[in-house]
Amino acid sequence: MSVIPVLTAGFGEGHNAAARAILEALGRKPGLTGELHDLFLEAYGPEMAKRQRDSYIGVANKYPRLWGCMYTALDRLPLVRASLPFVRPVEKTLNAMLDAARPPVVVSAYPLYNYMMARRWHRDDPARPRLITVVTDSISVNRAWHRAHSDWYVTPNQATADVMIRQGVPAARVLPYGFPVSSRLAPRSTAKAGERPRVLLMLNPGKRDAVELASALSTLGLELTITVGKDASFKEAVERAVEGRAEVLGWTDRIPQLMLSSHLVVSKAGGATTHECVAAGVPMVITQVIPGQEAGNGRLIAEHGAGAYGLTPESARAIIAEAFTGDWSLWKKWKASVDGLGDAGGGDRVAELVEREMAVQFRGQNR
């Protein structure tokens, strides 16, 4: 049994969601299995890793302009390579894992690790494992993703591949395989026009008007389900605001099921949620866009006519009401567009790439 390391980090759910989906897909391949590694968690322990993650999320939510400036600096300057001395425990943990496992192939859903591998091996070193980088952002791709070498870059879609090629990545190394998502989304949405509208609102507690948004949508007469995460006090506030007009869920593993049964998902433009909606064939109304990586996710939906922005409670309520008015012509347009944007096969395509790369490695060893 060959064990393939799949590397992730908790700085944004997109990295983790993609890594988990790849792990699932590798498990469906005979003779292959994946092993998930959050190297920040392994290097620093759960308490420190949580503080790091919370700091990142806090800056992004509370100071979006500051985060936007930081994102732009990362795009324009080689700051990731300069930061490596400050995360030496992570690099040591990575090297220890590679020494112990000696994998023929590594899959990375977080770009920092590529720089560490580049410090250890020259790209022509026969001892270097083949590296597959899974890019978790659409369209607004930070150059930090590809300043360090990778043998392959897997992108969520062709539009993102085109951006990376324009940025100078050789086209032959860019593979628009789709964002890896859970196979539970493969059946696609079963929602039909003319039914009572079913809407899934995925609330971000860090959004200042989140409770107001829940209240506004609950007055539309929809079959509304709201997910709020693990914060019990936030859940109580939302329940008070909707006054029984919506089902309010805390943390749940039913997200794929809820997406597949919904006509519409209302959420921030996070990498995981956006691409899960594409895979499930569910239109989106986007209520929050953090500058940088989420800007491209929002553009993917809006510019392809697979949904719309609703960045205030009032505008979100208005566009959702319009979508389900009359013969639902607006929703029908969104639905047709999102159905053509992608599918749930990204993880399986990455797993097939791993198989091919392993065959290349083994042929080289047997010469």
Contacts (Cβ under 8 Å, ≥6 apart) of 54: none
Q: Mean pLDDT across the stretch 32-53?
A: 95
- Bigger pLDDT: 19 vs 359: 19
Residue with tokens 């696609």: 188
Residue with tokens 């039909």: 192
Q: Are 205 and 228 in contact (CB under 8 A)?
A: yes
What domains can be seen in the chain, in order of their start residue? 2-180+345-365 (3.40.50.2000), 184-339 (3.40.50.2000)
Q: Detail the DSSP E strand segments found in 183-333.
A: 198-202, 223-227, 247-249, 264-268, 284-288, 307-309
Q: Mean pLDDT across the stretch 59-71?
A: 87
Name the nearest CA neighbour of 268 among 341, 359, 205, 211: 205
Q: Are 4 and 327 in contact (CB under 8 A)?
A: no
Q: What pLDDT is stored for residue 365 in this prediction?
A: 60
Q: For residues 56 and 68, give the distance between their C-alpha atoms in angstroms, rounded to a whole number.
A: 12
Q: How confident is the model at residue 33 (pLDDT cuts 50, 70, 90)?
A: very high
pLDDT in tens, 241-297: 999 999 999 999 999 999 999 999 999 999 999 999 999 999 999 999 988 889 999
pLDDT in tens, 320-358: 999 999 999 999 999 999 999 999 999 999 999 999 999
The enclosing H or E element of 108 equals strand 105-108
Q: Are 91 and 115 in contact (CB under 8 A)?
A: no
Q: How many CB atoms lie within 10 A of CB 281?
A: 24
Q: Are 39 and 90 in contact (CB under 8 A)?
A: yes
Q: What is the largest CA-CA distance in the chain?
A: 70
State the pTM of this model: 0.93
Tokens of residue 332, six digits = 């029908």
Residue with tokens 């503080």: 51
Residues linked to residue 226 through DSSP beta bridges, in sequence order: 201, 248
On average, the pLDDT of the chain sits at: 94
pLDDT in tens, 117-174: 999 999 899 899 999 999 999 999 999 999 999 999 999 999 999 999 999 999 999 9
Q: How confident is the model at residue 58 (pLDDT cuts 50, 70, 90)?
A: confident
Q: What pLDDT is stored for residue 366 in this prediction?
A: 57
Name the nearest CA neighbour of 111 among 3, 9, 4, 5: 9
Contacts (Cβ under 8 Å, ≥6 apart) of 322: 330
Q: Mean pLDDT across the stretch 193-220?
A: 94
pLDDT in tens, 98-121: 999 999 999 999 999 999 999 999
